A and B are shown apart, each in its own frame.
Chain A
Amino acid sequence: MVNLTVDNKQVTVPKDATIYDAAKSAGIKIPILCHDKKLHPFGGCRMCLVEVEQMKGRLIPACTTPVTEGMIVRTSNDEIVKARKLVLELLLLKHPIDCPVCDAAGDCDLQNLTYEYKVNCNQFVDEKFNHEIDYVNPIIERDMNRCILCGKCARICDEIVSYGAYSVINRGLEAKIGTEFDGPLNCEFCGSCVSVCPVGALISRPFKFQARWWALSKTKTVCSYCGTGCQLTLGCKDNKVLTTVYDEDQGFHNGQLCHRGRFAYQFVNSDKRLTTPLIRKNGKLVESSWDEALALVTERLTQAKAAPASLAALSTAHLTNEELFLFEKLFRGTLGTDNIDHSAGFAHAALTEGLKASFGTVASPSEILDIQKSNLLLVIKTDAYETHPVIGFEINLGVKRKGVDLRIVSDKRGKLGKLPGAQTTVHTPGSELLLLNALAKVIIDAGLADAAAPGLSELKAALAEVSLEKAAAATGVSADEIAKLAKDYAAAEKALILLPIGLGYPGHNAALAEACANLAILTGKYGKEGTGLLVMGEKNNSQGAADLGIHPKASGLNGSAIIDACISGQVKTLFVAGENPVVSYPNRAKVEKALEAVDFLVVADLFLTETAQLADVVLPAVSFAEKSGTFTSVGRKLQQVKQAVKPVGLAKSDFEILNTLNAALGGQKYLNQSELFAEIAANVPAYAGLSQAALGDEGKLLPVAPSAKLVPVAAQAAAPVAGKLALVTGSALYHSGTMSRFGEGPMLVCPNAYAELSAADAKVLKIEDGDAITVKSDTGSVSVTAKVGYRLPQGVVFAPYHFGEGSINAVTDGKAVTWVTVGK
């Protein structure tokens, strides 16, 4: 620690702190334009000039100067103010000062400092810039005339997002922030650059001219897309969510968001939202009152109560913990059926079955912060970036700042593999299990296994048959590479495995989670900082749904079995809360048949989705912005969701819907959702002793006590079918689940279903980028747009599953790999 004096205040800070950090810790504000706490110090704007007693004669930039013992710093005197004023005058010389029409006004660092330092006139005269403004881009509008060249956009894109869309181009007065070859911006559109821009040079186009910054009411809440659990601030006006407001002090991610989080909030106030209940009369869905709709649902559920086996319920993991708990109470408690599941258990079986078997708990034994604390990261599928982009940013930071050794085991290459030093092991599609078993085998054979690992002998016996050569042949990875990866993993002091799961990844099942856990347990890499296994649930509350047991416990049917039972006629009444099985569950034709076969289908959703269109009763539910409650994120972080706007039309929260039904069917009636949280805290061990009020803005990390056990996993490679391509499904970077289709940003950037082919296959099949192609399997066929790239190995096709039109589940059937033919 270093002691210094800042404005007569004694400050003690770590030795790697700068003067700016020291002043900040003492509560002294030094003005900055180019500095950002997430980025490396830059020292470009010279606004933070201070005087240091020991370095008199010139002013020192506070943001780049490290502290030294006994330093005496003055952050403000006449000379400093004069220097800062001069900086502002020079910046304002070129700045257009079009504050009345600039969206940044009110939230503009340059405007605020100009006001604070009373820069009313300018001693210099010069012409303004005349750069062309980029109006073409649908997401980010770039007006380089307003730019003050702080370089924050270029640095955040490089350092954290690791995309590098921007750079300073040209020299001297001509210098500006440009894209490659000064062409159009074509990036991940995460909007990090927009969030850090101190002026209005980069603005969000969907929010352009919508409202003034000061007129927005700001509500801190949690994003409702993926499981990362990013905190975000919703900017609302006139009961509408208009934008997401950047707050650099929010969450582990310091306000960083991905494309979905920042630009896909419009689904809340979409015109397509359901505003009134619908009942099917004479084959058509017609508007009705809540009383009529709920009376009908109550009547049919009362009938079903007599035969609980004929009743099933599916829920999405987008609901809050309180709602999920009530969902379980209603169906398992009041109605007595065990046929309940969320996002199809097969998508979350890695948590509910895999981790349960390996660690005795349904939660990952690691948290997101472990990523940067680790020495070696083993990422299963490069798609971890696409499914959870903000966790991807953590990986970027870990690799680039902390020197984490990144190893990726994947069936395709991807962005993570481009990080410095990252090594991608590309295996044949569907051979993850074989590869992981081979890794375990190498670790055991090399004597690197922890002899005290529980279940070691069983695992040894189970792996006796595994041979490195056979595995190498089946996975397409050389034996040396497998051996090296295994040894490096075992040798790393701290190693963490990341496993994304979700509806797009049927192969990421319980067995794969167990195989991953085996590696961690074999080498004793769990239960300590920077180690373990992080199973990344797909939805914002996947972890909560697993914790609360929204899956069959005894003899009940899981998601896929429910669909089968609907067809066989065993299930006659189906309640679907927020789930869209028609698009997201495998085998669309089968799901549609099942939903048509079922006698009575109730769907509670925000939109008239493909599933809701088949329903007998549709109940309008509300989004995360219209209700309060809690979500549990990937790293077991329990966070509060706060209501920002009033429900649209007559829509009611799932809590209200389920509460009314529960009371009508003889269950308990709750006054509000927080009453349910108290019950969760009393019944679910991990939530014991917690209260909503105590969560605060930060949230709480739920405890986990893993009791590890090695679980032998049988592995079989997907046998190649001659003349066919291997189709693997997954997530597109811009989408999450099927809800992002109702957000503006994702639909502007990635509106249509596509299938990605390798350039080699495309050449053979004479398919060019953008062609309409047909993907055909034994299950069915679908027409999508072709995307030709270099990241896929020959023989592999990748398709995201989010789209309703051209949905890839028309050809898949719940297997890790689907063998397809592709043609025009």
Chain B
Amino acid sequence: MIMPLLKGLQITFSHMFKKPVTLQYPTERPAIKPNFRGLHVLNVSHDRAKCVACYLCPTVCPAKCITVEAGEDAKHDKFAAKYEIDMLRCIFCGYCVEACPVDAIRMSETFELANYTRADFTFTKERLLEKK
């Protein structure tokens, strides 16, 4: 009867000498693991997004949160005239990154995505572009 109680107290007692688990967020920042799937980033190369608007990410997306519209640039090449992710629908599965044939999209360490209005959760191409 008394033994389980003592065992419990022993665990409690031992924690008094360990480092606290709680992170004093936001003053303290968590260490983010390399395979973390945070906010999407559109990779940039030669001053333009690498995305060629192949439509594989909207095709593979299980949450159907990606909208792409292709355009034709001055050199007749295909580029994403519109690239939008609805973060309210996104389930951060990372399939888009896996499907991308040109390494145009990756997932960053950014996880602080809270916002005030629904519209703010629509990430346009402008907001997704890699900031260098």
Are A214 and B59 in contact, with the CB atoms below 8 A? yes
Are A135 and B76 in contact, with the CB atoms below 8 A? yes
Are A101 and B59 in contact, with the CB atoms below 8 A? no
Shortest Cβ distance from A201 into chain B, in angstroms?
A: 15
Contact partner of A100 among B72, B76, B101, CB < 8 A? B101
Asked if B78 lies at the interface with its beta carbon under 8 angstroms from chain A, I say yes
Complex alpha-carbon distance, A101 and B80, angstroms: 11
Stretch of B19-27, B50-58, B120-128 that contacts chain A: B50-58
Are A209 and B72 in contact, with the CB atoms below 8 A? yes
B78: chain A residues within 8 A (beta carbon)? 100-101, 209
Q: Which residue of A lies closest to B71 (CB)?
A: A209
Are A212 and B55 in contact, with the CB atoms below 8 A? yes
**Per-residue B-contact encoding for A193-221, CB less than 8 Å = 1, 0 else:** 00000000000000011111011000000
Residues in A707-759 with C-beta less than 8 Å from chain B: none
Complex alpha-carbon distance, A133 and B59, angstroms: 29
Q: Which residue of B lies closest to A210 (CB)?
A: B70
Complex alpha-carbon distance, A215 and B56, angstroms: 11
Complex alpha-carbon distance, A208 and B72, angstroms: 9
Q: Which residue of A lies closest to B81 (CB)?
A: A209
Complex alpha-carbon distance, A211 and B77, angstroms: 15
Are A100 and B54 in contact, with the CB atoms below 8 A? yes
Q: Which residue of A lies closest to B56 (CB)?
A: A100
Shortest Cβ distance from A136 into chain B, in angstroms?
A: 10
Complex alpha-carbon distance, A90 and B55, angstroms: 28
Asked if B91 lies at the interface with its beta carbon under 8 angstroms from chain A, I say no
Complex alpha-carbon distance, A650 and B54, angstroms: 34
Complex alpha-carbon distance, A348 and B52, angstroms: 52
Complex alpha-carbon distance, A497 and B118, angstroms: 68
Shortest Cβ distance from A137 into chain B, in angstroms?
A: 12
Asked if B102 lies at the interface with its beta carbon under 8 angstroms from chain A, I say yes
Residues in B85-132 with C-beta less than 8 Å from chain A: 101-102
Q: Which residue of B lies closest to A97 (CB)?
A: B101
B101: chain A residues within 8 A (beta carbon)? 99-100
Number of A-B contacts (CB under 8 A): 29
Complex alpha-carbon distance, A99 and B77, angstroms: 13
Asked if A297 lies at the interface with its beta carbon under 8 angstroms from chain B, I say no
Contact partner of B59 among A135, A209, A210, A215, CB < 8 A? A215
B54: chain A residues within 8 A (beta carbon)? 99-101, 105
Are A215 and B55 in contact, with the CB atoms below 8 A? yes
Complex alpha-carbon distance, A317 and B68, angstroms: 40
B71: chain A residues within 8 A (beta carbon)? 209
Complex alpha-carbon distance, A100 and B102, angstroms: 8
Are A101 and B52 in contact, with the CB atoms below 8 A? yes
Shortest Cβ distance from B52 into chain A, in angstroms?
A: 5
**Per-residue B-contact encoding for A94-113, CB less than 8 Å = 1, 0 else:** 00000111000100000000
Complex alpha-carbon distance, A214 and B54, angstroms: 12
Shortest Cβ distance from B75 into chain A, in angstroms?
A: 9
Shortest Cβ distance from B102 into chain A, in angstroms?
A: 6
Shortest Cβ distance from B78 into chain A, in angstroms?
A: 4
Most buried by A among B53, B54, B59: B54
Shortest Cβ distance from B59 into chain A, in angstroms?
A: 7
Complex alpha-carbon distance, A133 and B77, angstroms: 12
B55: chain A residues within 8 A (beta carbon)? 211-212, 215
Complex alpha-carbon distance, A212 and B52, angstroms: 13
B52: chain A residues within 8 A (beta carbon)? 100-101
Residues in B3-55 with C-beta less than 8 Å from chain A: 52-55
A133: chain B residues within 8 A (beta carbon)? 76
Complex alpha-carbon distance, A215 and B52, angstroms: 17
Q: Which residue of B lies closest to A135 (CB)?
A: B76
Selected A-B contacts with CB under 8 Å, 18 pairs: A99-B54, A99-B101, A100-B52, A100-B56, A100-B101, A101-B52, A101-B53, A101-B77, A135-B76, A208-B72, A209-B53, A209-B70, A209-B71, A209-B78, A210-B70, A211-B55, A212-B59, A215-B55
The 10 closest A-B pairs by CB, nearest first: A100-B54, A209-B70, A101-B78, A212-B55, A100-B101, A135-B76, A101-B52, A100-B52, A209-B78, A209-B72
